[in-house]
Amino acid sequence: MAETLWIGTRKGLFALRALEARRRWRLLGPQFLGHVVHHLVQDPREPRVLLLATRTGHLGPTVMRSTDGGRSWREASAPPAFRKAAGEEPPRAVERVFWLTPGHRSESGTWYAGSSPAGLFRSGDGGERWEPVAGFNDHPMRPQWAAHGTPDGEFLHSVLVDPRDPRHLYLAISIGGVFESSDRGESWSPLNEGCAADFMPDPDVPFGHDPHCVVQHPAMPDRLYQQNHCGIYRLDRPARRWQRIGTAMPRKIGDVGFPIVVHPTDPDRVWVLPMDGRTVWPRTSIDGRPALYTSENAGASWRRLDRGLPRGQAWFTVLRQAMCADRHARTGLYFGTTAGEVWASTNSGESWRCLVRHLPEIYSVTHAA
Amino acid sequence: MTCTVRIASPLRSYTEGAATLSVSGRTLAQVLDSLEARCPGIRFRMIDEQDRIRPHMRLFVNSSEAQQLTAAVADGDTVHVICALSGG
Whether A35 and A23 map to the same domain: the answer is no
Task: With beta carbons under 8 A apart, name residues in chain A contacting B41.
Answer: 62, 75, 77
Whether A250 and A127 map to the same domain: the answer is yes
Q: Using one digit for the tens of pLDDT, what is the confidence trace for A15-54?
A: 999 999 999 999 999 999 999 999 999 999 999 999 999 9
Q: Is the model's pLDDT at B81 over the cut of 90? A: yes
| pLDDT computed for residue A200 by the predictor | 86
Pairwise CB contact (< 8 Å): B48 & A94: yes
Q: Is the model's pLDDT at A204 over the cut of 90? A: no
Report d(CA A163, CA A217) in Å as an integer. Answer: 10
- Give the gap in angstroms from C-alpha A11 to the nearest C-alpha of chain B: 10
CATH number of residue A280's parent domain:
2.130.10.10
What Å distances lie between residue B75 and A175, A208, A351, B70, CA to CA?
Answer: 49, 53, 68, 16
| pLDDT computed for residue A1 by the predictor | 76
**Does residue A104 come out as left (phi exceeding 0), alpha (psi in the -120 to 50 range) or beta?**
beta
Mark which residues 257-276 of A lie under 8 Å from B by CB.
none
CATH number of residue B49's parent domain:
3.10.20.30
Q: Using one digit for the tens of pLDDT, what is the confidence trace for B8-46?
A: 999 999 999 999 999 999 999 999 999 999 999 999 999
Q: Using one digit for the tens of pLDDT, what is the confidence trace for A136-154?
A: 999 999 999 988 878 888 9
| pLDDT computed for residue B1 by the predictor | 82
Report d(CA A310, CA A207) in Å as an integer. Answer: 38
Whether A255 and A149 map to the same domain: the answer is yes
Mark which residues 56-95 of A lie under 8 Å from B by CB.
56-60, 62, 75, 77, 79, 81-85, 91-94
Pairwise CB contact (< 8 Å): B49 & A58: no
Domain that holds residue A365: 1-28+322-369
Mean per-residue pLDDT, A291-299: 98
Question: What is the rounded (10 degree) CA torsion for A312, A315, A320, A324?
Answer: -40
- Tell me what the pLDDT averaged over chain A comes to: 96
Write the DSSP symbol of residue A170.
Answer: E
b/e for A205-234, b at 16 or more Cβ within 10 A?
Answer: eebbbbbbbbbbbeebbebbbbbbbbbbbb
Pairwise CB contact (< 8 Å): A58 & B83: yes
Q: Is the model's pLDDT at A185 over the cut of 90? A: yes
Whether A222 and A175 map to the same domain: the answer is yes
**Tally of structural domains, chain A:** 2
Mean per-residue pLDDT, B57-84: 96
Given the DSSP bridges, would you call strands B78-83 and B2-6 parallel, antiparallel or unpaired? parallel
| pLDDT computed for residue A148 by the predictor | 80
pTM: 0.96
Q: What is the value of ipTM here, to two decimals? A: 0.92
- C-beta separation of A169 from A156 below 8 A: no
Q: Is the model's pLDDT at B58 over the cut of 80? A: yes
Whether A264 and A341 map to the same domain: the answer is no
